Chains A and B, each alone.
Chain A
Amino acid sequence: MDNAIVVLTVATAVVFDFTNGFHDTANAMATTIATRALPPRAAVGLASVLNFAGAFISVAVAATIASGIVEQGDVTVPIIFAGLVGAILWNVTTWFFGIPSSSSHALVGGVVGAVLAGVGSGAVIWSGIVSKVLIPAVLAPFVCGLAAFVATTLSYRLTRSIRDESSSAGFRLSQIGSSSMVALAHGTNDAQKTMGVIVLTLVAGGELSKSAGVPFWVKLVCATAIALGTLSGGWRVIKTLGTRVTEIESPQGFSAETSSAAAILSSSYFGFSLSTTQVVSGGIMGAGLGRAGGVVHWSVVRNIVAAWILTMPAAGLVGALAEGVVSGFSSTTAGVVVVSAATVALLGGIFVVARRHDNVTSSNVLGPQPVPVLRPSSAAAGA
């Protein structure tokens, strides 16, 4: 195997890891930012540090990426590369539209699409897709949503005799803890997936033996990439999850993040890989419904669910196209270089348009700061 292909594929995996971080910052911190428990920059900085730390906690599932979904023997380096291209482009496209979609599903979709194009449907384990992707994707939002609904209802009931300021302050403080747990779990789960992709690339490229495990430099690179991605803040997705799905108060933010942490950690313990994005989105919806008078904007939810349904086919289509282009060249290296250049150009174009069109940053992610309204009694008291 040409070293250049291996190097380019590893670099593409690192870029995917970065987009994973910046696309999923919202999972841990959207509610924390929305309730102003932490300033946006501080929240993203905390999530970044915890994602970095989380990446070093475990490598237990690093080698299992796409296992049980495609025949591992058919996964070649160009197929991994094409799958990553599909996942990256879908991640960045959904980020542009501010839609929280699953990076893991995008990665699986991209790889499956590339395998379909490069090897054929016989190399895809369809029952694995049903049990490892589709059923968990349907169940995750409901499980977490139900838990968040219960937690939110209870939070308001138990503190109804307490002044709003005291209650909000307490829940805001606790929310920082629950969000931190989600960020740590995200770093552990998602950085491992990229580690697995890089190890698979190195093994397939003959650069690493199958029994070698995850080299330290791979852990360090993946941890750094996901942390830097998180630090750059996917403000568009944060805006959607933090302000557009429902109006979040601190008890709701705490309930959504606590339920998400419980769902992610318990499912991981029992061997399921739930999408952090879908879990947190379900949690926020459940928290929205759990508050008396709370409103969930179903039109936004419909768009999110539509993106979830489209994630695997869309990433798969791009993965298949990329695989087709790569294999269309007589030299695989030339094909990989051309697809890399086209991907970089597309990404650059999306980022330029994003900056010019409805740019969302840390300073405008929540809209204008609410202006305190003087009530007649307080105005009179102050006079």
Chain B
Amino acid sequence: MITASLSDYLPLADLLKILAVCLVVAVAAPSAVSIAIVGLDRRSHANGPSSNDGPALALIVLGVAILVALVGLGLYTLFEH
């Protein structure tokens, strides 16, 4: 009954979509930054010039790529709307 009253004023499906988007970003963005930070930290702790920092670099690239994708999505939303 309460749901029916609320939905008269607000499309609940859209509200759930907004909540879902926020939660996805809330998981994706910190994960991306954390991945990049872990990569940077491993790189700075790499032992000597001969050490293989490929995995660390991959983490940095992955983190930054996710962040760039999120920013691109945000800008797309802003311009499209």
- A interface list, Cβ under 8 A from B: 54, 57-58, 60, 127, 130-131, 135-136, 139, 143-144, 146-148, 150-152, 154-155, 158-159, 161-163, 166-167, 170-171, 174, 177-178, 181, 184-185, 188, 251, 254-255, 258-259, 261-263, 265-272
| Interchain CB contact under 8 A, A58 and B78 | yes
Residues of chain B contacted by A181 (CB below 8 angstroms): 71, 74
Residues of chain B contacted by A139 (CB below 8 angstroms): 15
Contact-size category for B: 20 to 34
| Interchain CB contact under 8 A, A130 and B79 | no
| Interchain CB contact under 8 A, B26 and A265 | no
Q: Smallest Cβ distance from A321 to chain B, in angstroms?
A: 30
Interface residue? B62 (CB, 8 A): no
Q: Taking CB as reference atom, which chain A residue is nearest B80?
A: A269
| Interchain CB contact under 8 A, B9 and A265 | no
The secondary structure that dominates the A interface is: helix
- B interface list, Cβ under 8 A from A: 6, 9-10, 14-15, 17-19, 21-23, 25-27, 29-31, 33-38, 40-41, 44, 67, 71, 74, 77-81
Q: Can you name 11 A-B residue pairings with CB atoms under 8 Å?
A: A130-B9, A147-B25, A150-B27, A162-B41, A170-B36, A174-B67, A178-B29, A258-B25, A261-B25, A265-B77, A268-B78
Q: Smallest Cβ distance from A17 to chain B, in angstroms?
A: 19
| Interchain CB contact under 8 A, A170 and B9 | no
Q: Smallest Cβ distance from B1 to chain A, in angstroms?
A: 17
| Interchain CB contact under 8 A, A154 and B27 | yes
Q: Smallest Cβ distance from B36 to chain A, in angstroms?
A: 6
| Interchain CB contact under 8 A, A147 and B14 | no
Q: Taking CB as reference atom, which chain B residue is nearest A177?
A: B71
Q: Smallest Cβ distance from B6 to chain A, in angstroms?
A: 7
